[in-house]
A and B are shown apart, each in its own frame.
Chain A
Amino acid sequence: MDSFIATGLIGISLGSQYTLLALGFTLIFGILGVVNFAHGGFYVMGGYVAYYCNVILGLPYPVAVMLAMLSMAALGWLFESLILERVIEDHQATLMVTMGFYLVMATAILMIFGAESPQFPFPVTGVWRLGGIYFPYANMIVLGACLAAIVFVYWLVYRTNIGRGMRAMSEDLPVASALGMRTKALFPFAFALATGLAGGTGALVTPILALAPHVGDSVLAFSFLTVILGGLGSVTGATCAAFIVGLIEAYAAVYLGGSKGALTLFALVLIILVVRPQGLLGREVRRS
C-alpha cells in the first residue's frame, strides 16, 4: 500500500511538470497554429540560465528561477517576432524553423557549457517520510511551484482580457482580428508565455534530476505526446493528459518494470488515439 501511495505521489509530481511543458506547447499550437519543436530547447536553456545565475553568479535560487523564466520569455518573444512571424503562414516552414532553432540552442549550450553535466543542486534537501511513503522536500516545492504556475496560466487564459483575446484568436483568427485583436502583440506574447513556462520548468526540474544539453529531447517527446493525447490546442485537455501520462508512467514503471512501463504508456496512448483521434478534449476539425 505504501508503494502504491508513493507511486501516486511520483505520478502527480511528474504530471505537474508535464502540465507546465504541455500548456506552453498547446498554447503555441492553439493560438499560432505552430508545432514548436524548439520547446525542449527553451526548457534546457532555462535550466542553464538558472544554473549560471545560481551557481556561477551566486544569486539566490528563486531569483535564478525568475531570471530563467524572464530570459526565456524574452528569447521566445524575439524569436517569434523576428523569425517565426515571417513564415507563420507556412506550416512546413514553421516546423523547420523551430527545429532549426532547437539545434542552434542545443549546440550553443554544448559549446558554452560542454557536454558533461554541471553540479546544480536544489537548495533544499531532506525527505518527508511517513512509514514507507516518502516525498523529497525539493519535489514538494517543485510540485507547489508547478501547481501555482498552472493556476496562474488558467487565470491568465480564462480571467483576463489578454487571455480572452488569445482564446478568441485561437477560435477564429480572421474574426478576432476584424474585431480589433492585435495579433502583432498577442502572438509574441503567447509565444513568450509558453517559452517562459518551459524555461521556468527547466529551472525548477533540472536541479532535482540532472542538467545536461540533451535533456530537452525527452521533454519535447513527452510534451508532444501529452498534447496529442489531450487534443492539440486544448488547455484543459493538455492538463488532464499530463496527469494521466504522469500517473500511467509511474504506475506502469513500478508494477511492470522500466521497459514494459514505457511500452504500456505508449500502447495506451495509441489505443486512446485510435478511439478518439482528436485527443481527449480536442475538437474534431481544426485549422492550422
Chain B
Amino acid sequence: MTMRLGRFMCGTLLASAAFGGAVSACELKIGVPAVLSGPAAQWGIALRGATEFAAKEAMEEKRLVINGVACTISVKTIDSKYSAEGAASAASAFAAEGIKVIVGPVGSPEVTGMKPVATRNRMVAMVNSFAKNSIGPEWPTVFHIGPGPSGWAAPIIDAGLQRFKFKTAAIVAPNDQGGTDIASVNADIFKQRGVSVTEEYYQRGTTNFAPIVTRIMSSNAEALDLASSPAGDAGIIVKQMRQAGFTGPIFRLGGPGTDEIARVAGGLDILKDFLWYEPVYMDDKMRALEQKYEKLMGSARPENSDFFRWTFAARMMIKAVQIAGTVDNAEKISAAMRTLPVEDEHIGKGYWIGQKFFGINQEMSYPFAIGVIQGGVKQPFIRADAVSEK
C-alpha cells in the first residue's frame, strides 16, 4: 500500500514536472535596452511602450502559439542611458537571465556597445541607430528597424528647397558616433543639392548652446539641420538660434521628437519653419493603432512617434519567433525573420533593404512621412513611399 502510494506520488510529480516544463518552455522573454534618462529619454519611452504593447497584444490575441501552447511574453527593460557601456551592460544582464530576443536600443553608441555582447551571447536583435555600421554581415542576427538619413534625408531636403531659399546650411550634432555618422551623411546629401555645409559638433551633456549658436551665426548659414541631437538639446538650440536672430528653415534630419523640441523651444512659433522625418504617415490605420494601444494599455500611447516603428519591430520579432517555433534559438529566429515579408497590419507593406549601404539585406523599409511647420503652423504630413533598393 505504501509502495503504491509512493509510486502514485512519484508519477504525479513527474507528470507535473513534464507538464510544467512544457508550459514554461513557451515563455518568450524580450530584453529591451532603452534610454530612460537624459535628454534622449523620450525615444526610450517610445521603445519600451511599444514593446510592452506588442507583447500584451500578442498574448491577448494568442499570436504566439508554439506546439499548440499559447506562449506568455514578458518584457524586461533596462535603462541603457544612450551610451555604449549602458547598452553593453544591459545586454550582459539579459544574457545572464537567459534572454535571447532583444528589441532595441535606440542610439548609435548604444547599438555599437551592444552588438558584440549580443553576438557573443547568440541573441537576435532588432535595433535602431543611424550609424553607418548599424548592421552588417559580421552581425548576422542583428536586424535594423528602418533606414537612417541615407534613406529619407534627400526627399526632406528637397521638400525644404521647394519651400525655402537657402544655399548654405549648418549641421549641429553631438561629437560621438550618434552625431558624426548622421551629420556626415546629411552633409553629403545637402552638397549633392548644391548647398554648402558646415558641421558643428558639441559635447554630449552641454546645457547652454549660446557659444555654439554664436559660432553658427558667424558662419552665415541660411538653414540649420539639428541632425540627431536629442530632442531636449535640439529644443535649446532652436530657442537660442531664434534669439540670436536666425530666421532660416530648420531641418531635423535625425530621430523624431518635434513635440518635445517645440516644448523646450517655447512653441511652434519659435520653430517657425521646420521640417522633420516622421517615421509613419498618420492615417486611419495609425489612429486605429493608437486607439488599440489606449484600450489595451489604459493610457495614451507614448508621445514620440518612434512608438509606431518599435511596435512594428516588436511585432515582426514575435512573428519570427512564431515561425521559428523556438523562443531562444537566435539563429532559427533570424532565419525565420529573413523569410518574413516586411508587412504590418497598420503600417503597411515595405521591403527588406540594406545590401547596398550595409552589405546585408536586413533593414526594414516602409512608408514614412515628412513633417512641415511653415510660419509657425503645422502643415499636413507629406506621405513618402518606402525606400527600395530595386
The answer on a CB contact under 8 Å between B207 and A258 is no
With both chains docked as a complex, state the minimum distance between the C-beta of B213 and any C-beta of chain A, in angstroms. 9
The answer on a CB contact under 8 Å between A213 and B37 is yes
Take A116-B45, A119-B263 as given contacts and tell me if A214 and B202 are in contact as well, using a CB distance cutoff of 8 Å.
no
The answer on a CB contact under 8 Å between B36 and A115 is yes
The answer on a CB contact under 8 Å between B201 and A127 is no
Give the distance in Å from the alpha carbon of A14 to the alpha carbon of B318 in the complex.
51
Give the distance in Å from the alpha carbon of A40 to the alpha carbon of B78 in the complex.
24
Q: Mark B201-218, 1 if CB is under 8 A from A, else 0.
A: 111011110111011011
B194 within 8 A of A: no
Cβ contacts under 8 Å, A215 to chain B = 207
B68 within 8 A of A: no
**B interface bracket (residues with beta carbon within 8 Å of A):** 35 or more
Q: Mark A74-98, 1 if CB is under 8 A from B, else 0.
A: 0000000000000000000000000
With both chains docked as a complex, state the minimum distance between the C-beta of B215 and any C-beta of chain A, in angstroms. 5
From B211, B260, B267, give the contact of A7 (CB < 8 A): B211
The answer on a CB contact under 8 Å between B41 and A115 is yes
B236 within 8 A of A: yes
Take A134-B245, A209-B208, A250-B210 as given contacts and tell me if A258 and B264 are in contact as well, using a CB distance cutoff of 8 Å.
no
The answer on a CB contact under 8 Å between A117 and B243 is no
A106 and chain B: residue at smallest CB distance: B37
A254 within 8 A of B: yes
The answer on a CB contact under 8 Å between A210 and B235 is yes
Cβ contacts under 8 Å, A160 to chain B = none
A186 within 8 A of B: no
Cβ contacts under 8 Å, B260 to chain A = 116-117
Cβ contacts under 8 Å, A213 to chain B = 37
* Dominant secondary structure at the A interface: helix
The answer on a CB contact under 8 Å between B211 and A254 is yes
- Interface residues in B209-256 by Cβ distance below 8 A to A read 210-212, 214-215, 217-218, 231-232, 235-236, 243-245
The answer on a CB contact under 8 Å between B37 and A115 is yes
From A3, A209, A262, give the contact of B217 (CB < 8 A): A3
B155 within 8 A of A: no
- Interface residues in A201-234 by Cβ distance below 8 A to B read 209-210, 212-215, 217-219, 221
From A110, A127, A210, give the contact of B264 (CB < 8 A): A210
B39 within 8 A of A: yes
B348 within 8 A of A: no
A122 and chain B: residue at smallest CB distance: B266
From B39, B211, B264, give the contact of A253 (CB < 8 A): B211
Q: Mark B76-90, 1 if CB is under 8 A from A, else 0.
A: 000000000000000
With both chains docked as a complex, state the minimum distance between the C-beta of B71 and any C-beta of chain A, in angstroms. 31
Cβ contacts under 8 Å, A254 to chain B = 211-212, 214-215, 218
Take A127-B243, A253-B215 as given contacts and tell me if A210 and B266 are in contact as well, using a CB distance cutoff of 8 Å.
no
With both chains docked as a complex, state the minimum distance between the C-beta of A18 and any C-beta of chain B, in angstroms. 10
A9 and chain B: residue at smallest CB distance: B210
Take A10-B214, A218-B206, A257-B201 as given contacts and tell me if A115 and B264 are in contact as well, using a CB distance cutoff of 8 Å.
no
With both chains docked as a complex, state the minimum distance between the C-beta of B64 and any C-beta of chain A, in angstroms. 30
The answer on a CB contact under 8 Å between B205 and A258 is no
Q: Mark A100-111, 1 if CB is under 8 A from B, else 0.
A: 000000000010
Cβ contacts under 8 Å, B290 to chain A = none
Take A134-B244, A136-B243, A214-B38 as given contacts and tell me if A261 and B211 are in contact as well, using a CB distance cutoff of 8 Å.
yes
A118 within 8 A of B: yes
Q: List 16 A-B contacts (CB under 8 A).
A: A10-B210, A10-B214, A14-B210, A110-B37, A115-B37, A116-B42, A116-B45, A134-B245, A210-B235, A257-B212, A257-B215, A258-B206, A258-B212, A258-B215, A259-B175, A262-B206
List residues of chain A with CB under 8 Å of any chain B CB. 3, 6-7, 10, 13-14, 110, 115-119, 121, 125, 127, 129, 134, 136, 209-210, 212-215, 217-219, 221, 249-255, 257-259, 261-262
Q: Which 10 A-B pairs have the closest CB atoms?
A: A253-B211, A258-B202, A115-B41, A119-B263, A262-B203, A259-B175, A10-B210, A214-B38, A136-B243, A250-B211
Known: A134-B244, A257-B215. 8 other contacts (CB 8 A): A127-B244, A134-B245, A136-B243, A253-B212, A255-B215, A257-B201, A258-B203, A261-B211
